[in-house]
Structure 1
Amino acid sequence: MACFVKDVSDSLISGLLYGLLAATMLGPSSSLADDPRPRDPHSAAVMHRISAETPRQLRELFRFTGHRLPVVSAHRGGAASGYPENCIATFEHTLSKCFALLEIDPRMTEDGEVIVHHDATLDRTTTGKGKVVEKTLSELKQYRLKDIDGVVTNHVIPTLDEVLHWAKGKTVLVLDQKDVPLETRVNIITKHHAESYAMMIVGSLKDVRACHAMNPDIMMEVMIPSHEKLKAFDASGVPWENVIAFLGHQPPTDPSLYEAVHQKGTLAMVGTSRNLDRQFFTRAVADDESLRRDYRQLLRRGADMIETDLPREIGPLLYTDHPAVPTSKRPLMMVQPTMPR
């Protein structure tokens, strides 16, 4: 999905806003240049795991039943101070606070490898400079990732293979396209037998049909922002159980669209990175109740899942009163203790 950080100027603004959030809601942050993992070897953390073992289980997990899942979609994994976007440590930090899908950004290297990095260039989020596609994997691994404040961390750019290896049994990855061909993404998921824990964002109906033809076990996130797009997808021949419908970064106000998606047995997702997430930071007083009311209005309208830049804040905010996983989904969603490395 397109992102809310377009250039260095936006990045600086974003960093300041995240800093405000950390100060007002999360308390003091750790040293930003340090690896942000727990220091006490005896302390325990938790991980909110989504663990489907088969593609069928994943489709069943995301089938619309009328019982809401306490799950958000973490845009770029949910970056924060000390936690760079598209970084495994950041993914773990997000899952310590809430159940989340992790939206990530594959990109091609000069030598044909696939890494996970949002921008086409390195300057904003790493210590490197220039275009990703003009660097080899070996060169890219020498750079260090920056957090949202532009502070250099100890973390390096992960490969998609590394992220897929890490994610199994923990969460569901949602692979955006960027410059990676559809067939390449399909082949990587297939190679890892990751159909139960990796989805793809697919832009056109032509690509939706192509993806399904290459591997019918892969679930997709498909943009369906109108009744016309819904009818077009209906005519594609691809089963509705294979998709989550993304209704847009500007959530539709027409409840009938959400209802039409639900009638197909499919979940409706909306994005808040370009609207409510920004408003979250610009308020003079960040009042939990008013914030909860704004985000929950989207759920009342019919949204089943929210894609957000603030998963660790919005997940608990949305589901404080009703955090329980529906009984039928509990074998696939669990909160488990995990010891720090």
Structure 2
Amino acid sequence: MTLEFRVLLVLAPILLPLRSGISQDAAPATTPLHRIAPQSPAELRELFRYTGTPLPIVSAHRGGAGPGYPENCIATFEHTLTQTFSILEIDPRMTKDGHVVLHHDATLERTTTGSGRLADKTLAELKQLRLKDSEGNVTEFQIPTLDEVLRWAKGKTVLVLDQKDVPLETRVGKISEHGAEAYAMMIVGNFKDVAACHRINGDIMMEVMIPSRAKVEAFDGIGVPWQNVIAFLGHVPPTDESLYEAVHKKGASTMIGTSRNLDRQFHWRVRDEADSLRRDYQAILGRGADVIETDLPRDVGRLLYGPPLTSPQGRRGLRIE
């Protein structure tokens, strides 16, 4: 498939009149959600199997914080899903008393009303704190536990659990305990851990860093099916564009991150350069990326895929309701 045809197929019909002040207000309780709801591990694998057809999904880095909405917060997750189809990248960490909560930083100051190391606090102490939004304003929201988020996510979206300080076995155990293999994936940092995860629970999908053709070949040797992974190729598009084709030939989809580049330009370009900004995001998909991981899922999802957006035909498990 040529670059030009892929871009046209995925995005050419969409021209959204953007402006710099896209509303971040909380939606009414009756607002439909863009649900990603595979019913089994097999359906989750099928969702991310490469087919060459558009996959109108973004990945929300830390859930997609914004004004009024903190990162790694259930209210933020819900708000993201009112705007776009999005899987949610989240950050589990261990408390002093052995619970798993969601929080990106090792320390509390930037995103909460607390201070010090999260690992030195009990769950009860952490629940006394309040989360700050993307602008540093204190909100009413608390740090959620991973258990709370796994219960919330079923039927709504797919979670992608980063590692931070939580052992691989603990993350696998939480997914297994909740029977969440159909809607929770893991970011796994090295091939040894990929093989270990698959050995413990072969139904768990993983997001795996595969930044080169050499890594594609090396992955073939670890005994884990390609259908169990989505390949994260990097935070910038790879210079070797044949890498996309190499992964696609294995039947897996690819992901590129924009939080360190295009996302940082978004708000100053969207008013006067909306068309060229859209083309820059489209170009990432046109090269062969299937999913963009972004700090701005609501903005980027709407830029690329709507509104209005209807439930995609032929994509089992995606619906708006």
Q: Is the 8 A contact 2:86 2:157 kept in 1?
A: yes
For residues 266 and 23 of structure 1, what CA distance do their matches in structure 2 show?
A: 35
Q: Distance in 2 between matches of 1:321 and 1:96?
A: 11
Structure 1 position 285, deviation (Å): 4.1
| TM-score of the aligned structures, taking structure 1 as reference length | 0.86
One of 109, 115, 128 as aligned partner of 1:129: 115
Question: Which of 179, 189, 192 is the aligned partner of 1:206?
Answer: 192
Equivalent residue letter for 2:151: H
Displacement of 1:282 in angstroms is 4.0
CA distance in 1, matches of 2:53, 2:97: 46
Correspondent of 1:65 among 51, 56, 62 = 51
8 Å CA contact 2:131–2:138 kept in 1: the answer is yes
Mapped partners of 2:134, 2:312: distance in 1: 35
Q: Is the 8 A contact 2:19 2:270 kept in 1?
A: no
* Residues 1:284 and 1:95: Cα distance change in structure 2 (over 3 Å): closer
Name 1:191's counterpart in structure 2. 177
Q: Which of 33, 45, 48 does residue 31 from structure 2 map onto?
A: 45
Corresponding residue to 1:257 among 228, 243, 256: 243
| Residue in structure 2 matching 1:181, options 163, 167, 171 | 167
> 1:174-204, CA deviations, whole angstroms, 9 ceiling, x for partnerless residues?
0000000000000000000000000000001
Q: State how far apart, in whole Å, the 2-side matches of 1:284 and 1:303 are.
A: 22
State the distance in 1 between where 2:137 and 2:19 align: 17
Rounded to whole Å, the distance in 2 between the matches of 1:81 and 1:169 is 26
- 8 Å contact from structure 1 (residues 248, 271) kept in 2: yes
Between the aligned partners of 1:68 and 1:129, the Cα distance in structure 2 is 44
Q: How do residues 1-341 of structure 1 correspond to structure 2 at under 5 angstroms?
A: 24-27=20-23, 36=26, 38=28, 44-283=30-269, 285-320=271-306, 326-329=312-315, 331-336=316-321
Q: Is the 8 A contact 1:70 1:325 kept in 2?
A: no
Which amino acid counterpart does residue 125 of structure 2 have in structure 1? E
Distance 1:95 1:318 in 2: 15
1:323 positional shift: 5.1
User: What letter is aligned with 2:174?
Assistant: I
Alpha-carbon contact 2:158-2:185 (below 8 Å) kept: yes
The answer (yes or no) to whether the contact 1:70–1:323 under 8 Å persists in 2 is: no
Question: Measured at CA, do residues 324 and 65 of structure 1 come closer, stay the same or move farther in structure 2, by a change above 3 Å?
Answer: farther
Report how far residue 44 of structure 1 moved.
Answer: 2.9
Shift of 1:319: 1.6
1:328 CA displacement: 2.7
Code of the aligned partner of 1:174: V
Could you tell me the percent identity over the aligned residues?
64
Q: Note the residue ranges of structure 1 that are not aligned, 5 or more in a row.
A: 1-21, 31-35, 337-341
SS in 2 for 1:74: strand
| C-alpha RMSD of the superposition | 1.8
1:40-59 CA-to-partner distances (Å, cap 9, x unmatched) read: xxx73110001111101100
SS of 1:115's equivalent in the other structure is strand
Match of 2:7 in 1: none
Write the deviation string for residues 195-232 of structure 1: whole angstroms up to 9, x where unpaired. 00000000010000000000000000000011011111
Task: State the shift of 1:289 in Å.
Answer: 1.2
The letter for the 1-side match of 2:176 is T
SS at match of 2:159: strand
The CA distance in 1 between the partners of 2:191 and 2:260, in whole Å, is 25
- Summarize the Cα distance change of 1:169–1:47 in structure 2 as closer, same or farther, 3 Å threshold: same
Counterpart contact for 1:253–1:301, Cα < 8 Å: no
Cα distance, 1:285–1:328 mapped onto 2, change above 3 Å: closer
Separation in 1, partners of 2:208, 2:160: 11
Q: Cα deviations across residues 104-123 of structure 1 (Å, max 9, x unaligned)?
A: 00000000000011000000
Is the 8 Å Cα contact of residues 67 and 134 (structure 2) preserved in structure 1?
Answer: yes
Contact persistence 2:19–2:271 (CA under 8 A): no
Distance in 2 of aligned mates of 1:287 and 1:46? 30
Q: Distance in 2 between matches of 1:55 and 1:239?
A: 14
Sort the Cα spacing of 1:186 and 1:248 in 2 relative to 1 into closer, same or farther, 3 A.
Answer: same
TM-fit CA distance, 1:280: 1.5
Unaligned runs of 5+ in 2: 1-17
Preserved CA contact (<8 Å) 1:258 1:303: yes
